[in-house]
Structure 1
Amino acid sequence: MSTLTSVYIALGSNQGQREVYLQKAIEAIFTKIGSVTHISSVYETPAWGFEGEAFYNACIKVKTRLKAQQVLKELQEIEITLGRRRHSKRYQNRTIDLDILFFGDDYIADSNLKIPHPELSKRDFVLFPLADIATQKTHPILNQNIEKLKDDLPKNNTIKKTDVKLKPVNFKVPDVNYICIEGNIGAGKTTFVEMMEEDFDAKLILERFKENPFLPQFYKDPKRYAFPTEMSFLADRHQQLVDDITQLDLFSNFSIADYDLYKSLIFARITLKDQEFKLYKKVFDIMYRNITKPDLYVYFYQNTERLLENIHKRGRSYEQDINADYLEKINQGYLNFIKNENRFKTKILDISELDFVDKREDYLKLVGDILNF
């Protein structure tokens, strides 16, 4: 999963309902690129470099997981969607103009993309709104912050601050304390909860499967290592949930986990012999009785073919011998559990045709399905 990068984007419009175009651009950027965390005031300036109507200009700060070239591609598609028509002339009237100013602290000098924007230090219609949201942001080449660059502009500028207020587009914080996202091996649940943790400032609870010393041996010899593997998982999961869920985190909106303790019973039912499972279930029932249950339990269903592809792609050596039959048994175990569960809310989401890592719209769809439940 890519980490979040702060990208500053300049917006301008001098055709039609200028305020509407700026607002629609912000909404499209949220959908296509990332969360809009800061929005400047809107400034009006005369057309620059050609004869035309005055521009409305603003700047925004966006947190994105996309690469710089991907952001550029999405911005150009948004411009087209909002009616911009490019011509041979460099300066022209436009319904919307979207430019990347900064992309983290990166310096990029490609043929079609230069970052920092090479003209930003000379343009009042960029520096005034940018100073609203990035006063102390330092230009990595000029080694001066935005406030200083703005102050150094000629004093005869004609820029005017307007009363126009652009509206932010935010995630709705769920009215729950604890969400669990479950799924089969390779379903992508851990990646998803990590993304939600970043976007919602949630408390993240991840399964510590890498610390299980029996797991590699189990995949090589399931019959021999099934019982110690499952007991080790059960003990670790229970202890972690006791430690994490029962502690109120005043600095997070909610807690989100990529597992629930009940998964231990699902896997144990598949892997253990009858006598082993009876003993295991006695221990499990004692542990599960008083553990905190999620307010919402979401199961990411993914077809077996896609699961095997994901497992192969992530390349964990000890997982490469997992077969389709084992995955199908796990999936059926989860579906049976959800079918009979009445202690908390459950929801099944089919993600077989979605790519929430590389397609933000797919990610937003899943988030919406969860929050609107």
Structure 2
Amino acid sequence: MKKDPVLAYVSLGSNLGNRAFYLQKAIFSLGDKAGEIEAISSVYRTPAWGFEGEDFLNACLSIQTTLSPEDFLDCLLEIEREAGRQRKATGGYRSRTLDMDLLYYGKAQIQSERLTVPHPHMEKRRFVLKPLSDIAPQFYHPVLGRDHRNLLQECPDHSSLEKTHLVLHKTQKSFFTALGFVAIEGNIGAGKTTLARKISQDFNAKLILERFEDNPFLPKFYQDRARYAFPLELSFLADRYQQFIEDTRQLDLFKSFVVSDYDIYKSLIFAKITLGIEEYKLYRKFFSIMYREVRKPNLYVYLYQSTDRLLEQISKRGRAYEEGIPAEYLEQIQSGYFDFMKHTPELNSLIIDAGGYDFVSRPEDYNAILDQMMAHVMGKDI
């Protein structure tokens, strides 16, 4: 017989490492393992409680779960361990990457060797009561018989509590949706199209792919760079501009956000390598006019691969016109991207060394890429 779900409440805290990332990752894991996240409080910055340490980020959430209280506790402990937390029986409080506590399990009152519910002494902790009041102001403590607003007013803890602008999301889909527009960039053969496709499929994103195979100048360029460089770069620019104007501005009611396998600035990076000085000056004038009008990504991810690895990937995909691409050309492109990111501090750029990852065949590698993206965003948000 299927068990009816119970509404449980959990507190989360972190004061070590990328605190916001650990909180967000824990919420995703809890939703995957234990049930459906119902509500998440604001995030508060609070001083370490009971010991000397860095400030905590604290929040609370509610979740519908069919797990038993003991199984739910095991789930919380497993998520803590995944975040590198090692609980110790003695030694008092200490800094930790993640701290998760079961506050309520419905209205149940539980007293066992492993678990006490409601959580003992929570009425004395402002960093618990304030986020609880955000999501359940009128929830009555089943033992004390008072709601969280009253308990907060009577709380003897007067330590400082600062509400942050950080927003935690219930699911990975909602996290990526909030980004709005993600560009996956990289050198030739870096895997950017593959990653963009997977993100689009998994999180319901509108996918923008570069239409390089439709460019009639590309095969000719690899045979005679000097002759076909200018028409190639100009045609790429025109096509990218048209695609970005159309695809990033048109609202798609059935898609959550936009992900592309290129950013239009790559036009200038490639043109600087392939064109002569005078041609590049003319090209840059056209580019500058167009670039002002196109939408910029909110997250710019650059997949780094070594030159040897790029040549290996290019060889595997077997495109005839890519045969014989010199290593020097790939290294020039790589340098162009790094120079662009270095001199564009307003760009929310993230470089991921993807050389050891196989995000097609290994789900753990794909998840590691997503974690790096999330850690980058969350680390900048706080």
- The TM-score bracket by the shorter chain reads 0.5 to 0.7
Cα distance between partner residues in 2 of 1:42 and 1:225: 64
Cα distance, 1:290 vs structure 2: 1.6
Within the alignment, does 1:330 sit opposite 2:333 as a pair? yes
Alpha-carbon distance between aligned partners in 1 of 2:225 and 2:235, rounded to the nearest angstrom:
14
Closer/same/farther in 2, CA of residues 277 and 169 from structure 1, 3 Å limit: closer
CA contact (8 A) 2:341 2:347 kept: no
Match of 1:272 among 272, 275, 278: 275
- Residues 244-297 of structure 1 show CA distances to partners (whole Å, capped at 9, x for unaligned) of 001122221110001111000000000001111111111111110121111111
Report how far residue 176 of structure 1 moved. 1.1
Change (3 A) 1:223 1:205: same
Count of residue pairs the alignment pairs up: 215
C-alpha distance in 1, partners of 2:265/2:172? 33
Normalising to structure 1: TM-score of the pair?
A: 0.55
Correspondent of 1:346 among 346, 349, 360 = 349
How far residue 184 of structure 1 moved from its aligned partner, in angstroms, is 0.2
CA contact (8 A) 2:190 2:313 kept: yes
1:305-341 CA-partner distances (Å, limit 9, x unpaired)? 1000000000000001101100000000000000011
Q: Does 1:239 align with 2:208?
A: no
C-alpha distance in 2 between matches for 1:268 and 1:360: 36
Identity %: 52
Is the 1:212–1:232 Cα contact (8 Å) retained in structure 2?
yes
Q: Check if 1:208 corresponds to 2:201.
A: no
Q: How far did residue 344 of structure 1 move?
A: 2.9
Alignment of 1:1-373 (within 5 A): 173-174=175-176, 175-372=178-375, 373=377
- CA distance, structure 2, for counterparts of residue 241 and residue 190 of structure 1: 16
1:238 to 1:217, Cα distance in 2 relative to 1, 3 A: same
Quick one: distance in 2 between partners of 1:169 and 1:318? 42
Deviations 1:101-138 (A, max 9, x none): xxxxxxxxxxxxxxxxxxxxxxxxxxxxxxxxxxxxxx
Which contiguous aligned blocks of 4+ residues in structure 1 show a shift greater than 4 angstroms? 168-172
Displacement, 1:169? 8.1
Is 1:173–1:200's contact at 8 Å kept on the other side of the alignment?
Answer: no
Q: CA deviation at 1:42?
A: 7.9
RMSD: 2.3
Q: What's the CA shift for 1:170?
A: 5.8
Aligned twin of 1:116: none
Alignment partners' CA distance in 2, 1:343 and 1:241: 20
Q: Which runs of 5+ in 2 are unaligned?
A: 1-28, 34-64, 68-169, 378-382
The 1:214–1:253 alpha-carbon spacing in structure 2 relative to 1, beyond 3 Å, is: same
